[in-house]
A and B are shown apart, each in its own frame.
Chain A
Amino acid sequence: MTRLSEVVSALSPTHYAQLALLLFVGVFVAVAIRHGGKRRAAEHAACAQLPLADDDGAKR
């Protein structure tokens, strides 16, 4: 059976760095696409108001 250390050793450290960078770029692009469009502008505007509305109707 192949050991994990053999699998890890098969890649050079440079590969890890490159994979990491690709992973980050992928996540960044996905988040940017998901939240970047105008479609979500109204939702974001509503969310931004949450801290300002959170004591609405509070009675002491």
Chain B
Amino acid sequence: MSQETIRYDDAIVRKFVTATIVWGAVGMLVGLWCALQLALPSLNVGPYFTFGRLRPLHTNAVVFAFAGNGIFAAVYYSSQRLLKAAPLPLLSKIHFWGWQAIILAAAITLPLGFTQSKEYAELEWPVDLAITVVWIAFAVNFFAMVRNRRERHLYVALWFYIASIITIAVLHIFNNLVVPAGLFKSYSLYAGVQDAFMQWWYGHNAVAFVLTTPFLGLMYYFLPKAAERPVFSYRLSILHFWSLVFIYIWAGPHHLHYTALPEWASTLGMIFSVMLWMPSWGGMINGLLTLRGAWNKVAEDPVLKFFVVGITFYGMATFEGPMLSVKSVNALSHYTDWNIAHVHAGALGWVGFMVFGMVYWLVPRLYQTKLYSKKLATTHFWVATVGIALYVISMWAAGITQGLMWRAFDETGRLQYPDFLETVTRLIPMYWLRALGGALYITGLAIGAYNIYRTWRARPAAYAEVEVAVPPMVRATKLAAKRAKGEHWHRKWEGLPALFSVLTAAAVIVASLFEILPTFLIGGNVPSISSVKPYTPLELYGRDIYISEGCVNCHSQMVRPFLDETVRYGMNGQPAPYSQPGEFIYDRPFLWGSKRTGPDLAREGGRRDELWHLRHLEDPRSTSPGSVMPSYPHMLADDIAWDDIQSRVDAMAMLGVPYGPALNHAPEMAREQAAALAAKLEAAGGPKGMANKDVIALIAYLQRLGVDIRNSQGGTQ
């Protein structure tokens, strides 16, 4: 009887590798542009290419385009070989072209200001639906390979892929539940504290299941291949997997320490974050010890160089992460560039280097020729390593500097740096150093891209098909055995993928429910405040401009219960009340932010007059010399879309916001408020004719921030 053969589909892997490099270059160049904008604000080109609009484009491009395509390349190459099964060609095509179309949609919609504002989940609902469809195509394609496999055992790399596919689907669906208020406008199903909780449940696990678990799968497959040695301990890899999957999902609330999130949730997030240290380091040790007896190869092989440093960065980042989740450390680090350093140690060091190592290993095999230049690959490695070091060290220094400056009091008991701007301008030299580090990293990528291009040029005229002899399908064996004498031990193996998927989903869902249910169902988590009222139609529209411009990327709205913050954001010599859960019940989405390049705005209402805001938005440096904020002159020229206001109020009302008369008269009410504000501006010497302009709506929103809570205290602030 002749043995069956199958052909691996390496064409799909070649496509994903190309997309990885192309989108990696785009995403990182946008990142460099953002970095330079913080040092040189004139590089903000309004209205479409300001920091607030480009920063989500950078993060989405790097996370979902660079890392995403890299993951797909790894999954398609390794799964075919580990399962001895080929993917379905049509689904592979839908997956590849669908994913690239989504990235293109992101590249267009984000600069246009279409955003949900939630970090790493900014894309609006039509794009979210497309992501769901393409992800299902990918999942079906992957599980079809698992079903048609001819290798009984599922290697551990596949477990990590399964966990990623399932969990990303769960996270994406539940964090993006919205009520549309237009083709590219929606409001979150959750409000305030609950929205914040859901977002960071998603956000942290996006880091886990997009930037960690698939790359661990990649490590467990490609590192043994490159080192020509089996993984150090397969047993440890199993413990690594289950511990990681079980623990990661709990850790999200550490992004919300000292906010209005209930303390129990924050503490739970911290404890599980510290516990994460164990499996993470177990994985790192397992990776590094795989090179036992092969360390001499590291000196010569750029692939292993990338892998070793990548895994080392995994160890460093997963040490730093739990450390930053400890509340006392987080009190200093949160909202500063320390988080940016941490994220980039993981993204540039772990994710980037694992991708580059994999690509350098794959390229000669995919293009069926020798790598053009090992020397260039080594140069790429060293240039990028120096780049990461400059980036991370400068951002550590910037973060710790800013955190310490915010909390410093002088000997008389006053804030030592009461002007927030002083804590920003002090960081400019470090921002330049960061830009240099980023530029070096991109230079390394350019060298790599050239090397890959030259390798591709040397490919054969036609690729030889990769054909392998394979045993019968596992499920066919199982059926035959079952027919012969009932149940067979193969059944156990056949059932394993389903069992795995169920157990993984259970670990993720059960853990999530332990945090989500109490957060949503215990009324005491969000005590109501009677003075907190819905935004007026004009303020709601202004809030949407704030969202659209990405102001949340630089301004938090969360006064933490620290003396320096209540003093800094107070008014008339009185400290501000710290933020409370009940303040945010109408905030869809929440806008607490995660970084303060500018000051917190939770108590901004009434601190300055309308004319100051107008001048500041038109040209921030006219009111705040040295500010790095983009200018928004277009807001003084763009007309308010009055016709859109009613549908937005209606959507909020559908979510339970008690709008009363605004349900039928939202545009009229908005015009009335805008006219009054414009008259006030004119009276103060401001420009005429602002009653129809976007700037009025945004000023109305800014002047509302914190007013309700001040009213709850009898206006005594």
Contact = CB atoms under 8 A, between A and B. Distances in A.
A8 B518 CA distance: 6
B243 to A, nearest CB: 6
A51 to B, nearest CB: 5
B327 to A, nearest CB: 15
B239 A32 contact: yes
Contacts of A21: 271
B151 A13 contact: no
A14 B523 CA distance: 16
Contacts of B360: none
Contacts of B517: 4, 8
Given A20-B511, A50-B151, A31 B238 contact: yes
B155 A51 contact: yes
Nearest to B368: A60
Interface of B: 8, 78, 81-82, 84, 151, 153, 155-157, 220-222, 224-225, 228-231, 234-235, 238-239, 242-243, 246-247, 250, 262, 264-265, 267-268, 271-272, 275, 368, 464-469, 507, 510-511, 514-515, 517-518, 521-524
Contacts of A14: 264
Nearest to A60: B464
Contacts of A59: 466-468
A36 B239 CA distance: 9
Contacts of B246: 24, 27-28
Given A51-B225, A52-B225, A24 B522 contact: no
A54 B272 CA distance: 37
Contacts of B234: 44-45, 47-48
B641 to A, nearest CB: 39
Contact of B78 (A19, A46, A51): A51
Q: Which 5 A/B pairs are nearest by Cβ-Cβ distance? A: A13-B264, A54-B81, A48-B230, A60-B464, A44-B234
Nearest to A8: B521
Most A CB contacts (10 A, CB to CB) among B231, B265, B511 go to B231
A50 B464 CA distance: 24
Given A19-B514, A52-B229, A55-B81, 14 more contacts: A16-B515, A17-B271, A31-B239, A31-B243, A47-B155, A47-B156, A47-B234, A48-B234, A54-B81, A54-B84, A57-B468, A59-B468, A60-B368, A60-B465
B63 to A, nearest CB: 26
Interface string A32-53: 1001100010001111111110
Contacts of A23: 510
A30 to B, nearest CB: 9
A57 B225 contact: no
B627 to A, nearest CB: 42
B518 A13 contact: yes
A52 B230 contact: yes
Given A35-B235, A51-B82, A58 B467 contact: yes
Contacts of A48: 224, 230-231, 234
A5 interface: yes
Contacts of A57: 468-469
A28 to B, nearest CB: 6
Given A20-B268, A31-B242, A60-B464, A52 B78 contact: no
A9 B523 contact: yes
B521 A9 contact: yes
B268 A17 contact: yes
Most A CB contacts (10 A, CB to CB) among B469, B510, B522 go to B522
B265 to A, nearest CB: 7
7 contacts: A9-B521, A9-B524, A16-B268, A24-B275, A45-B234, A51-B222, A55-B468
A32 to B, nearest CB: 7
A51 B242 contact: no
B236 to A, nearest CB: 9
Nearest to A44: B234
A36 to B, nearest CB: 7
A49 B231 CA distance: 8
B260 to A, nearest CB: 15
A49 B230 contact: yes
A31 B156 CA distance: 14
Nearest to A43: B153
B81 A16 contact: no
A22 to B, nearest CB: 11
Given A16-B514, A20-B514, A48-B231, A5 B469 contact: no
A8 to B, nearest CB: 4
B521 A5 contact: yes
A12 to B, nearest CB: 8
A11 B514 CA distance: 11
A44 B522 contact: no
A25 B585 CA distance: 37
Nearest to B221: A51
A17 B521 CA distance: 16
Contacts of B156: 47
A25 B717 CA distance: 49
A40 B196 CA distance: 44
Contact of A13 (B8, B157, B225, B265): B265
B76 to A, nearest CB: 14
Contacts of A46: 153
A24 B153 CA distance: 26
B239 A51 contact: no
Contacts of A16: 264, 268, 514-515, 518
A7 to B, nearest CB: 8
A58 B523 contact: no
A56 B3 CA distance: 14
Contacts of B238: 31, 35
A45 B238 CA distance: 13
B468 A58 contact: yes
Contacts of B228: 52
A46 B156 CA distance: 12
Given A24-B246, A28-B242, A47-B155, A4 B268 contact: no
A27 B466 contact: no
A9 B264 CA distance: 14
A4 B521 contact: yes
A17 B226 CA distance: 42
Contacts of B268: 13, 16-17, 20
Nearest to A24: B246
Contacts of B522: 5, 8-9, 13
Nearest to A17: B268
Contacts of A27: 242, 246, 507
Contacts of A45: 230, 234
A44 B507 contact: no
B633 to A, nearest CB: 49
Nearest to A13: B264
